[in-house]
C-alpha cells in the first residue's frame, strides 16, 4: 500500500495547504477533523506519520481540542504546527501560556541547532524567514525535546525530540510566505518518516483505473461532460478504464463560450472515440430564460433545466447503473467548525445538484482524493489537450450570469462571445493566461453614446474582469499594464459590432465577487 500521512485538523484556515505540500513531496495525505480521530481509527488508518495542524483555539482554555494520546504512542513520527505544536507540548508534559507578544505575518527564526527537518535548507547560526500567526506560545518543553529554532515572540519556535521523531514548529511551513517551508515538510515526509514518494499522477492513474473497474464491473456508466477540467478528466479516465461501458452526455446550454461545444465534440468523440451524446438544448434554455433577469432565478432555471435534459438523454441511451461525477477532495474534506450556525448564501452554486438523487444511480467519483492541481496533472497524463486541462474555471450557469440585469438573448450572447474571444486571445498572446485565475467579459445593461468615424453610436458597454486567486474564495484584480488594456479595448470596439465602450473592473473579492451576478 502507498505510504500515507494523516493530518489531524484543528480548524486552521490553511490546513489544506499542509496536505498539498505533503502530496507535492510525493506522499499521499488525508485531512481528518480532530473530533473524528480515535485510537481505533488511527490504528485502522495506519499512517506512516501524523501532522497536527494549526487552529483557532487556545490550549490554555478549558475543553479545547486535543489529539488522542494514541498519536504519541504509535511509534510514528509526529509534526506539530502552531496549535499542533502547542497541544503536543501540553499533552506530553510541557507548558503553554497565553503570550502577551503576539506574532502575525512575517517573522524571523534563529536556527539554534541542526535537525533532520532543516536538512539541506537551514543551518545552525542562520536566520530564516517564516510566517507566524499565534498568540499563545510554548514556555517549557516536555522531556526529551530540544530547541532548534527561536524567534522574538516564540522562544521555542522549532523543537525536536529526535529519538521519538517528534518535531514541532510555531510557524506555518505550509504557506508560501515561509520560503523554505515546502522543503521542511518534504524533509519530514522523507528524511524523518521515510515515505517512499511514489504518489504521482502516473501511479494514481493505474490505481484509479483498477478501482473503477472493480466498482463498476460490467455495469454501464453515464457521465455529464461540461467542457470543464474536472468532468473532462473523469471522462478520459473512465474511458480508459471501461471503454464502451461509458456514455458521456454533453448538454449544450447555448451559454458556453465561442468554440467550446465544438471542442468537446472534437476531443471526446473524434479523438478519444468516446460514446458521446451531444444535445443542443440552447433553444430550450433560452426559452426558459426569456424575460428573466434575477441572478438566483436564472441559476435555478438553468440548474433544473440541465437536470431535465440530462435525465431525458440518459433515458434515451437506455439508462445506466452508475453516474460519474467530478467531485474533488476539497468538496469531501469535513471541515472543523468552531462557530456554529448556517452561513449566509451569497450565490447558490447549484448547477447539477440534485442529479444523483433524482437519477437513483450509484456514484462513481474517481477524483474524490485529488486537489485541483492534481486533476490537471492527471489530465495531462491521460493526454487531454493543454487548452482543456489548463482552462480557467467556468461557472455552471455560463454566460447567463455575465449578461447582468437584462434578458439573455442570442444577439447579446453573440456580442459577449465575440468580445470574450478577443480578450482571451490577447491574454494568451501576452503569455498571461496561466498567471490569471479567471478572465472574462461582462456585457453591461447600459448603452452609451460614442463617436465612430463621423457618426454617433449608441451601443453596449462591456467590462473586462481578470483576477488572481488560489481557490476562488478571495481574489485580487489583475494588474494589467495600460498598453495591454488599451489594445484589448481597441480591438473589441473595432471588431465587435454592438460594443462601443470598454471598462476594467478593479474590485477585489471581498468586497466584490468574481462574477458580477
Ligand atoms: P464568485 O462570483 O462567487 O465566484 O466570487 C467564485 C467562483 O465560482 C464560480 N461561480 C460559479 N460556479 N456555478 C458554478 O459552477 C455558479 O452558479 C457559480 N457562480 C460563480 C465563479 O466563476 C468563480 O470561479
Model confidence pLDDT, tens digit, residues 448-476:
999 988 899 999 999 999 999 988 888 99
Please indicate whether residue 25, judged by its CB atom, sits closer than 6 Å to ligand 1. Answer: no
The pLDDT score that the predictor gives to residue 382 is: 97
Please indicate whether residue 347, judged by its CB atom, sits closer than 6 Å to ligand 1. Answer: yes
Nearest residue (by CA) to ligand 1, atom 4, is 514
pTM over 0.85: yes
Average pLDDT, the chain: 94
Ligand 1, closest atom to CA 299?
Answer: 17
- Judged against a pLDDT cut of 50, whether residue 340 lies above it is answered with no
Model confidence pLDDT, tens digit, residues 350-390:
445 567 777 788 999 999 999 999 999 999 999 999 999 99
Model confidence pLDDT, tens digit, residues 89-111:
999 999 999 877 778 889 999 99
The pLDDT score that the predictor gives to residue 345 is: 65
Residue 349 is a catalytic residue: no
Pocket test for ligand 1, best of 507, 514, 517 (most atoms within 8 A of CB): 514
- Judged against a pLDDT cut of 70, whether residue 344 lies above it is answered with no
Q: Which of 103, 174, 369, 426 is catalytic?
A: 174
Between β-strands 322-324 and 221-225, what pairing exists: parallel, antiparallel or unpaired? parallel
Q: How far is the CA of 347 from the centre of ligand 1 (A)?
A: 8
Residue 152 is a catalytic residue: no
Nearest residue (by CA) to ligand 1, atom 20, is 395
Model confidence pLDDT, tens digit, residues 250-283:
999 999 999 999 999 999 999 999 999 999 999 9
Q: In percent, how much of the chain has pLDDT > 70? A: 97
- Judged against a pLDDT cut of 90, whether residue 145 lies above it is answered with yes
- Judged against a pLDDT cut of 50, whether residue 44 lies above it is answered with yes
Among candidates 113, 115, 164, 110, which has minimal Cα distance to 142? 164
**53 near 30, Cβ under 8 Å?**
no
Full strand arrangement of the beta sheet holding 146-150: 28-33, 4-9, 49-52, 78-81, 166-169, 158-161, 146-150, 95-111, 127-140
d(CA 25, CA 193): 12
Q: How far is the CA of 500 from the centre of ligand 1 (A)?
A: 28
User: In this structure, how many other beta carbons lie within 10 angstroms of the beta carbon of residue 372?
Assistant: 18
Phi, psi of 137 (to 5 degrees): -155, 160
Q: How far is the CA of 466 from the centre of ligand 1 (A)?
A: 14
pLDDT (average), residues 285-297 = 97
**174 near 79, Cβ under 8 Å?**
no
The pLDDT score that the predictor gives to residue 394 is: 95
pLDDT (average), residues 382-407 = 95
For 267, the grid coordinates are 476531443
Residue 82 is a catalytic residue: yes
Start-to-end CA span in the chain (Å): 46
Q: How far is the CA of 398 from the centre of ligand 1 (A)?
A: 9
Residues whose CB is less than 8 angstroms from the CB of residue 196 and which lie 6 or more positions away in sequence, other chains included: 2, 3, 26, 27
Return the SS3 of 283.
helix
Ligand 1, closest atom to CA 437?
Answer: 24
The pLDDT score that the predictor gives to residue 452 is: 86
Please indicate whether residue 33, judged by its CB atom, sits closer than 6 Å to ligand 1. Answer: no
Q: How far is the CA of 250 from the centre of ligand 1 (A)?
A: 20
Q: How far is the CA of 286 from the centre of ligand 1 (A)?
A: 20
Please indicate whether residue 153, judged by its CB atom, sits closer than 6 Å to ligand 1. Answer: no
Model confidence pLDDT, tens digit, residues 164-187:
999 999 999 999 899 999 999 999
Model confidence pLDDT, tens digit, residues 224-241:
999 899 999 999 999 999
Amino acid at each position: 500500500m502507498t505510504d500515507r500521512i494523516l493530518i489531524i485538523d484543528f480548524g486552521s484556515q490553511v490546513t489544506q495547504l499542509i496536505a498539498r505540500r505533503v502530496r507535492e513531496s510525493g506522499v499521499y495525505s488525508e485531512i481528518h477533523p480532530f473530533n473524528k480521530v480515535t485510537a481505533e481509527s488511527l490504528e485502522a488508518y495506519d499512517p506512516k506519520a501524523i501532522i497536527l495542524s494549526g487552529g483557532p483555539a487556545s490550549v490554555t482554555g478549558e475543553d479545547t481540542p486535543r489529539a488522542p494520546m494514541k498519536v504519541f504512542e504509535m511509534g510514528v513520527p509526529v509534526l506539530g504546527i502552531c496549535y499542533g505544536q502547542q497541544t503536543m507540548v501540553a499533552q506530553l508534559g510541557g507548558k503553554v501560556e497565553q503570550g502577551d507578544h503576539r506574532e502575525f505575518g512575517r517573522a524571523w527564526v534563529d536556527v539554534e541547532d541542526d535537525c533532520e527537518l532543516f536538512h539541506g535548507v537551514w543551518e545552525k547560526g542562520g536566520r530564516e524567514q517564516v510566517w507566524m500567526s499565534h498568540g499563545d506560545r510554548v514556555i517549557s518543553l516536555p522531556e526529551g525535546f530540544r530547541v532548534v529554532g527561536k524567534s522574538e515572540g516564540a522562544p521555542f519556535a522549532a523543537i525536536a525530540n529526535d529519538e521519538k521523531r517528534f518535531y514541532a514548529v510555531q510557524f506555518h511551513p505550509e504557506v508560501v510566505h515561509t520560503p523554505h517551508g515546502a522543503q521542511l515538510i518534504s524533509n519530514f515526509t522523507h528524511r524523518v518518516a521515510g515515505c517512499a514518494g511514489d504518489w504521482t499522477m502516473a501511479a494514481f492513474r493505474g490505481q484509479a483505473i483498477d478501482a473503477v473497474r472493480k466498482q463498476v464491473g460490467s455495469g454501464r456508466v453515464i457521465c455529464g461532460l461540461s467542457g470543464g477540467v474536472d468532468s473532462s478528466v473523469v471522462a478520459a479516465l473512465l474511458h480508459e478504464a471501461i471503454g464502451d461501458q461509458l456514455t458521456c452526455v454533453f448538454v449544450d446550454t447555448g451559454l458556453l463560450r465561442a468554440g467550446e461545444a465544438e471542442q468537446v465534440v472534437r476531443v471526446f468523440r473524434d479523438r478519444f472515440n468516446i460514446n458521446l451524446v451531444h444535445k443542443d438544448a440552447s433553444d430550450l434554455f433560452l426559452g426558459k430564460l426569456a424575460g428573466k433577469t434575477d441572478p438566483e432565478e436564472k441559476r435555478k432555471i438553468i440548474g433544473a433545466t440541465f437536470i431535465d435534459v440530462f435525465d431525458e438523454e440518459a433515458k434515451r441511451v437506455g439508462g445506466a447503473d452508475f453516474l460519474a461525477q467530478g467531485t474533488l477532495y476539497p468538496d469531501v474534506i469535513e471541515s472543523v467548525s468552531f462557530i456554529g450556525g448556517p452561513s449566509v448564501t451569497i450565490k447558490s452554486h447549484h448547477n447539477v445538484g440534485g442529479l444523483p438523487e433524482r437519477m437513483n444511480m450509484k456514484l462513481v467519483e474517481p477524483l474524490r482524493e485529488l486537489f485541483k492541481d492534481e486533476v490537471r496533472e492527471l489530465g495531462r497524463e491521460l493526454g487531454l489537450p493543454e487548452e482543456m486541462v489548463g482552462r480557467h474555471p467556468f461557472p455552471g450557469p455560463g454566460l447567463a450570469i455575465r449578461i447582468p440585469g437584462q434578458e439573455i438573448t442570442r444577439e447579446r450572447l453573440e456580442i459577449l462571445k465575440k468580445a470574450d474571444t478577443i480578450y482571451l486571445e490577447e491574454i494568451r498572446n501576452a503569455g498571461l493566461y496561466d498567471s490569471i485565475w479567471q478572465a472574462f467579459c461582462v456585457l453591461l445593461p447600459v448603452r452609451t453614446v460614442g463617436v465612430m468615424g463621423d457618426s454617433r453610436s449608441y451601443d453596449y458597454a462591456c467590462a473586462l474582469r481578470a483576477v488572481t486567486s488560489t481557490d476562488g474564495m478571495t481574489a485580487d484584480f489583475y494588474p494589467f499594464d495600460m498598453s495591454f488594456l488599451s489594445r484589448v479595448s481597441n480591438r473589441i470596439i473595432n471588431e465587435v459590432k454592438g460594443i462601443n465602450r470598454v471598462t476594467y473592473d478593479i474590485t477585489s473579492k471581498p468586497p466584490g465577487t468574481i462574477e458580477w451576478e
